Amino acid sequence: MESDFILGMTAIAASILIGMGAMGTAIGFGLLGGRFLEGAARQPEMAQMLQIKLFIVAGLLDAVPMIGVGIALFFVFANPFIG
């Protein structure tokens, strides 16, 4: 049946969406955390202010894979290609 093919491809597409998003975010958070630790080690009195900025950038970085997860879940539960 043709929708078997579409279902299989949808599964692969959803996995790629989530996986690539997670990979990019992981690398980004690693870099971000490393720079924060470096900066806090250089100037410990700035650590508090830097931490606030860290969370702001972390929230921004989180957005893109979350959008990807949202789209992937949309394809899993309400696939527009079948029916």
Partner 1 sequence: MLPFLSIGCPYWRYKKADTMKKISLLKTLLLACVLLTTANAFSSGESGCTTEPSQNEEFSYRSYVSHHLVNCSETILPGQDEGFWTLHLDSVFYSIFMAFVFSFSFYLAARKATVSAPTGWQGFVEMVVVFVDEQVRDTYHGTSKLIAPLALTIFCWVFLMNFMDLLPVDLLPALGQSVGIEYMRVVPSADLNITFGLSLTVFLLIIYFSIKIKGLKGYAKELAFQPFGKWMLPFNLMLKLIEEIAKPLSLGLRLFGNLYAGELIFLIIALFTIRAATDQFTVGDSGYIVMQFVLGLVWALFHLFIILLQSFIFMMLTIVYLSMAHEEH
31, 46, 63, 82: which one binds partner 1 (CB under 8 A): 63
User: C-beta of 66: minimal distance to partner 1 in Å?
Assistant: 3
- Give the three-state DSSP class for 81: coil
Piece of the chain touching partner 1 by CB under 8 A; list 9-17, 23-31, 40-48, 69-77: 69-77
Interacting span for partner 1 (CB under 8 A) from 8-16, 23-31, 32-40, 65-73: 65-73
> Considering 62, 71, 76, 79, which one is annotated as catalytic?
62
**Integer CA distances (angstroms), 17 to 29, 41, 54, 66, 77, in order:** 18, 36, 26, 10, 15
Q: Which residues contact 71 (CB under 8 A, 6 or more apart)?
A: 17
CB atoms within 10 A of CB 51: 12
**Catalytic residue numbers, as ranges:** 62
Chain residues that interact with partner 1, rule: CB under 8 A: 55-56, 58-60, 62-63, 66-70, 73, 77-78
